[in-house]
Amino acid sequence: MFGTGSRACTKRLKRPSVEVRTAKRSPANEFIVHLSGTPIIRAMGETIRVNFSRPLPVFPLPNVILLPHAVLPLHIFEERYRQMVDQSLDGSGQIALATFADQESQWRSEYDGTPKLRPIVCVGQIVQHEGLPDGRHNILVHGVCRARILDMDEPDEDRLYRCATLSPIEVSDEPPSGLEDVREKLRSIMQHDRLRRLRSIETVREWFDRDDIPTHALLELIGFTIVKQHDTQYDLLAEPDARRRAEVIVRELCDLECLVRRAEKQKPECWPKGMSWN
Protein backbone atom coordinates (compact mmCIF):
# COMPACT_ATOMS: atom_id res chain seq x y z
CA MET A 1 0.00 0.00 0.00
CA PHE A 2 1.39 3.38 -1.00
CA GLY A 3 3.19 5.28 1.74
CA THR A 4 1.22 4.09 4.73
CA GLY A 5 4.01 2.62 6.78
CA SER A 6 2.38 -0.75 6.24
CA ARG A 7 1.63 -3.28 3.57
CA ALA A 8 0.06 -6.71 3.40
CA CYS A 9 2.20 -9.26 5.22
CA THR A 10 4.48 -11.31 3.03
CA LYS A 11 3.95 -14.08 5.54
CA ARG A 12 0.40 -15.30 5.09
CA LEU A 13 -1.60 -15.03 8.31
CA LYS A 14 -4.77 -17.06 8.59
CA ARG A 15 -7.84 -14.86 9.05
CA PRO A 16 -9.88 -16.25 11.96
CA SER A 17 -13.62 -15.99 12.15
CA VAL A 18 -14.76 -14.62 15.47
CA GLU A 19 -17.78 -13.68 17.49
CA VAL A 20 -17.85 -10.29 19.14
CA ARG A 21 -20.60 -9.28 21.53
CA THR A 22 -20.63 -5.83 23.06
CA ALA A 23 -21.66 -5.56 26.69
CA LYS A 24 -22.62 -2.61 28.86
CA ARG A 25 -20.00 0.05 29.35
CA SER A 26 -18.35 0.27 32.72
CA PRO A 27 -18.50 3.41 34.87
CA ALA A 28 -14.89 4.12 33.85
CA ASN A 29 -15.94 4.90 30.27
CA GLU A 30 -14.90 1.48 29.04
CA PHE A 31 -16.42 -0.43 26.15
CA ILE A 32 -16.34 -4.16 26.90
CA VAL A 33 -16.19 -6.76 24.14
CA HIS A 34 -16.52 -10.51 24.73
CA LEU A 35 -14.67 -12.73 22.29
CA SER A 36 -14.99 -16.34 21.24
CA GLY A 37 -13.92 -18.31 18.21
CA THR A 38 -10.58 -19.72 17.15
CA PRO A 39 -7.73 -20.43 19.60
CA ILE A 40 -5.89 -17.27 18.53
CA ILE A 41 -8.78 -15.23 19.87
CA ARG A 42 -9.54 -17.32 22.93
CA ALA A 43 -5.92 -17.11 23.99
CA MET A 44 -6.45 -13.40 24.57
CA GLY A 45 -8.93 -14.02 27.37
CA GLU A 46 -12.65 -13.62 27.71
CA THR A 47 -13.02 -9.87 27.19
CA ILE A 48 -11.48 -6.80 25.59
CA ARG A 49 -11.89 -3.48 27.35
CA VAL A 50 -11.54 -0.29 25.35
CA ASN A 51 -10.94 2.63 27.69
CA PHE A 52 -12.23 5.69 25.86
CA SER A 53 -11.03 8.04 28.60
CA ARG A 54 -7.49 7.62 27.23
CA PRO A 55 -6.24 8.53 23.74
CA LEU A 56 -5.46 5.66 21.37
CA PRO A 57 -2.75 5.52 18.69
CA VAL A 58 -4.06 6.37 15.22
CA PHE A 59 -2.93 4.38 12.18
CA PRO A 60 -4.26 5.84 8.88
CA LEU A 61 -4.54 3.68 5.76
CA PRO A 62 -5.40 4.98 2.27
CA ASN A 63 -7.06 1.97 0.66
CA VAL A 64 -8.18 -0.35 3.46
CA ILE A 65 -10.94 0.06 6.04
CA LEU A 66 -11.23 -2.40 8.90
CA LEU A 67 -14.69 -3.31 10.21
CA PRO A 68 -15.54 -4.77 13.62
CA HIS A 69 -15.25 -8.58 13.72
CA ALA A 70 -12.98 -8.61 10.67
CA VAL A 71 -9.25 -9.34 10.88
CA LEU A 72 -6.54 -7.55 8.91
CA PRO A 73 -2.88 -8.63 8.45
CA LEU A 74 -0.40 -5.75 8.18
CA HIS A 75 3.34 -5.40 7.68
CA ILE A 76 4.64 -2.38 9.59
CA PHE A 77 7.88 -0.89 8.28
CA GLU A 78 7.77 2.91 8.73
CA GLU A 79 9.66 4.25 11.76
CA ARG A 80 6.78 6.11 13.40
CA TYR A 81 4.43 3.15 13.11
CA ARG A 82 7.09 0.72 14.29
CA GLN A 83 7.24 2.89 17.41
CA MET A 84 3.43 2.85 17.56
CA VAL A 85 3.31 -0.95 17.56
CA ASP A 86 6.13 -1.23 20.11
CA GLN A 87 4.39 1.13 22.51
CA SER A 88 0.94 -0.34 21.87
CA LEU A 89 2.16 -3.82 22.73
CA ASP A 90 3.52 -2.44 26.01
CA GLY A 91 -0.02 -1.27 26.79
CA SER A 92 -3.46 -2.45 25.71
CA GLY A 93 -2.41 -3.52 22.21
CA GLN A 94 -5.17 -1.35 20.74
CA ILE A 95 -4.93 1.07 17.82
CA ALA A 96 -7.47 3.14 15.89
CA LEU A 97 -7.44 2.37 12.17
CA ALA A 98 -8.37 5.51 10.27
CA THR A 99 -8.57 6.60 6.65
CA PHE A 100 -7.58 9.81 4.90
CA ALA A 101 -10.22 12.44 4.23
CA ASP A 102 -8.85 13.13 0.75
CA GLN A 103 -8.66 9.90 -1.22
CA GLU A 104 -7.47 11.50 -4.46
CA SER A 105 -4.00 12.97 -4.11
CA GLN A 106 -3.70 15.60 -1.40
CA TRP A 107 -2.89 13.15 1.38
CA ARG A 108 0.11 11.90 -0.60
CA SER A 109 1.76 15.32 -0.61
CA GLU A 110 1.01 15.75 3.11
CA TYR A 111 1.79 12.19 4.16
CA ASP A 112 5.00 12.96 6.04
CA GLY A 113 3.03 15.44 8.11
CA THR A 114 -0.50 15.05 9.43
CA PRO A 115 -3.03 14.69 6.58
CA LYS A 116 -6.67 15.24 7.45
CA LEU A 117 -8.55 12.09 8.49
CA ARG A 118 -12.17 11.03 8.21
CA PRO A 119 -13.89 11.24 11.60
CA ILE A 120 -14.95 7.58 12.06
CA VAL A 121 -12.38 4.91 12.89
CA CYS A 122 -12.33 1.24 13.82
CA VAL A 123 -10.72 0.40 17.13
CA GLY A 124 -8.58 -2.67 16.57
CA GLN A 125 -6.86 -5.14 18.87
CA ILE A 126 -3.48 -6.56 17.91
CA VAL A 127 -4.11 -10.29 18.33
CA GLN A 128 -0.96 -11.63 16.74
CA HIS A 129 2.52 -10.14 16.47
CA GLU A 130 5.76 -11.16 14.84
CA GLY A 131 8.74 -8.91 15.52
CA LEU A 132 11.43 -8.92 12.83
CA PRO A 133 15.18 -8.46 13.52
CA ASP A 134 15.33 -5.06 11.80
CA GLY A 135 12.47 -3.62 13.89
CA ARG A 136 9.64 -4.19 11.44
CA HIS A 137 6.45 -5.97 12.54
CA ASN A 138 3.94 -8.39 11.12
CA ILE A 139 0.69 -7.91 13.01
CA LEU A 140 -2.86 -9.23 12.86
CA VAL A 141 -5.47 -6.66 13.89
CA HIS A 142 -8.99 -7.67 14.93
CA GLY A 143 -11.70 -5.01 14.58
CA VAL A 144 -13.42 -4.33 17.90
CA CYS A 145 -15.82 -1.38 17.57
CA ARG A 146 -16.66 1.85 15.75
CA ALA A 147 -15.62 5.19 17.20
CA ARG A 148 -15.55 8.89 16.38
CA ILE A 149 -12.49 11.12 16.65
CA LEU A 150 -13.18 13.84 19.21
CA ASP A 151 -9.72 15.34 19.57
CA MET A 152 -6.34 14.71 17.97
CA ASP A 153 -2.99 14.68 19.74
CA GLU A 154 -0.31 15.50 17.17
CA PRO A 155 3.18 13.93 17.27
CA ASP A 156 5.79 15.42 19.59
CA GLU A 157 9.50 14.95 20.27
CA ASP A 158 8.98 11.59 21.98
CA ARG A 159 5.97 10.23 20.10
CA LEU A 160 6.28 10.04 16.32
CA TYR A 161 2.64 9.10 15.59
CA ARG A 162 -0.74 10.67 16.24
CA CYS A 163 -3.14 9.72 19.02
CA ALA A 164 -6.83 10.58 19.33
CA THR A 165 -9.49 10.82 21.98
CA LEU A 166 -12.42 8.71 20.76
CA SER A 167 -16.07 8.07 21.51
CA PRO A 168 -17.99 4.89 20.53
CA ILE A 169 -20.81 5.43 18.02
CA GLU A 170 -22.80 2.20 18.39
CA VAL A 171 -26.55 2.70 18.71
CA SER A 172 -26.75 0.39 21.73
CA ASP A 173 -24.37 -1.23 24.18
CA GLU A 174 -26.06 -4.57 23.49
CA PRO A 175 -25.56 -6.66 20.34
CA PRO A 176 -28.29 -6.06 17.72
CA SER A 177 -31.11 -8.60 17.89
CA GLY A 178 -34.04 -9.55 15.70
CA LEU A 179 -31.95 -9.80 12.54
CA GLU A 180 -33.09 -13.30 11.52
CA ASP A 181 -34.94 -11.91 8.50
CA VAL A 182 -31.79 -10.11 7.40
CA ARG A 183 -29.77 -13.32 7.59
CA GLU A 184 -32.30 -15.23 5.49
CA LYS A 185 -32.55 -12.46 2.89
CA LEU A 186 -28.78 -12.42 2.47
CA ARG A 187 -28.68 -16.20 2.29
CA SER A 188 -31.33 -16.14 -0.45
CA ILE A 189 -29.46 -13.53 -2.50
CA MET A 190 -26.26 -15.54 -2.32
CA GLN A 191 -28.03 -18.59 -3.71
CA HIS A 192 -28.29 -16.86 -7.09
CA ASP A 193 -26.41 -18.90 -9.67
CA ARG A 194 -24.21 -16.03 -10.82
CA LEU A 195 -23.08 -15.17 -7.30
CA ARG A 196 -22.51 -18.79 -6.31
CA ARG A 197 -19.76 -19.02 -8.92
CA LEU A 198 -17.69 -16.28 -7.26
CA ARG A 199 -14.93 -17.50 -4.97
CA SER A 200 -15.47 -14.74 -2.40
CA ILE A 201 -19.18 -15.60 -2.19
CA GLU A 202 -18.37 -19.27 -1.70
CA THR A 203 -16.35 -18.38 1.40
CA VAL A 204 -19.08 -16.11 2.76
CA ARG A 205 -21.83 -18.71 2.25
CA GLU A 206 -20.01 -21.10 4.58
CA TRP A 207 -20.37 -18.59 7.42
CA PHE A 208 -24.18 -18.69 7.33
CA ASP A 209 -24.26 -22.20 8.81
CA ARG A 210 -21.99 -21.34 11.72
CA ASP A 211 -23.82 -20.91 15.00
CA ASP A 212 -20.87 -19.04 16.53
CA ILE A 213 -21.22 -16.15 14.04
CA PRO A 214 -24.29 -14.05 14.94
CA THR A 215 -25.99 -12.05 12.21
CA HIS A 216 -24.59 -8.66 13.23
CA ALA A 217 -21.07 -10.12 13.02
CA LEU A 218 -21.91 -11.82 9.73
CA LEU A 219 -22.85 -8.44 8.26
CA GLU A 220 -19.44 -7.06 9.18
CA LEU A 221 -17.60 -10.02 7.68
CA ILE A 222 -19.62 -9.88 4.46
CA GLY A 223 -19.04 -6.15 4.14
CA PHE A 224 -15.31 -6.53 4.71
CA THR A 225 -15.04 -9.39 2.21
CA ILE A 226 -17.41 -8.33 -0.57
CA VAL A 227 -17.46 -4.53 -0.64
CA LYS A 228 -14.49 -3.16 -2.60
CA GLN A 229 -15.38 0.51 -3.15
CA HIS A 230 -13.56 2.60 -0.56
CA ASP A 231 -16.37 5.10 0.00
CA THR A 232 -18.88 2.29 0.49
CA GLN A 233 -16.53 0.58 2.94
CA TYR A 234 -16.41 3.82 4.90
CA ASP A 235 -20.20 4.13 4.77
CA LEU A 236 -20.42 0.71 6.44
CA LEU A 237 -17.94 1.78 9.10
CA ALA A 238 -19.69 5.08 9.76
CA GLU A 239 -23.19 3.54 9.99
CA PRO A 240 -23.97 2.50 13.60
CA ASP A 241 -27.29 0.79 12.77
CA ALA A 242 -27.03 -2.88 11.73
CA ARG A 243 -30.18 -2.85 9.59
CA ARG A 244 -28.97 0.11 7.58
CA ARG A 245 -25.64 -1.63 7.07
CA ALA A 246 -27.60 -4.65 5.85
CA GLU A 247 -29.35 -2.45 3.27
CA VAL A 248 -25.97 -1.31 1.93
CA ILE A 249 -24.74 -4.91 1.69
CA VAL A 250 -27.91 -6.10 -0.07
CA ARG A 251 -27.52 -3.29 -2.60
CA GLU A 252 -23.86 -4.19 -3.18
CA LEU A 253 -24.71 -7.87 -3.71
CA CYS A 254 -27.44 -7.00 -6.20
CA ASP A 255 -25.04 -4.69 -8.06
CA LEU A 256 -22.46 -7.46 -8.10
CA GLU A 257 -24.99 -9.90 -9.54
CA CYS A 258 -25.85 -7.39 -12.28
CA LEU A 259 -22.16 -6.91 -13.06
CA VAL A 260 -21.66 -10.65 -13.46
CA ARG A 261 -24.73 -10.85 -15.70
CA ARG A 262 -23.38 -8.10 -17.97
CA ALA A 263 -19.98 -9.79 -18.09
CA GLU A 264 -21.62 -13.01 -19.29
CA LYS A 265 -23.01 -11.18 -22.31
CA GLN A 266 -19.63 -9.89 -23.41
CA LYS A 267 -18.21 -11.54 -26.52
CA PRO A 268 -14.50 -12.40 -26.63
CA GLU A 269 -13.83 -9.67 -29.19
CA CYS A 270 -15.17 -7.13 -26.69
CA TRP A 271 -12.87 -8.19 -23.87
CA PRO A 272 -10.29 -5.52 -22.90
CA LYS A 273 -6.88 -6.44 -24.34
CA GLY A 274 -8.08 -9.98 -24.95
CA MET A 275 -9.00 -10.58 -21.30
CA SER A 276 -12.35 -11.85 -20.06
CA TRP A 277 -14.52 -9.59 -17.88
CA ASN A 278 -14.74 -12.56 -15.54
User: Model pTM?
Assistant: 0.78
- The rounded distance, in Å, linking the Cα atoms of 18 and 40 is 10
Domain 6-168 sits in CATH at 2.30.130.40
Question: pLDDT tens-digit profile of 205-230?
Answer: 888 888 888 899 999 999 999 998 99
Would you place residue 23 in the very low, low, confident or very high pLDDT band (cuts 50, 70, 90)?
very low
| 163-to-68, 91, 147, 159 alpha-carbon distances in Å | 20, 14, 13, 9
Q: Say if CB 186 and CB 207 are below 8 A apart.
A: no
pLDDT at 154: 94
Mean pLDDT of the chain: 79
Domain ranges of the chain: 6-168, 180-264
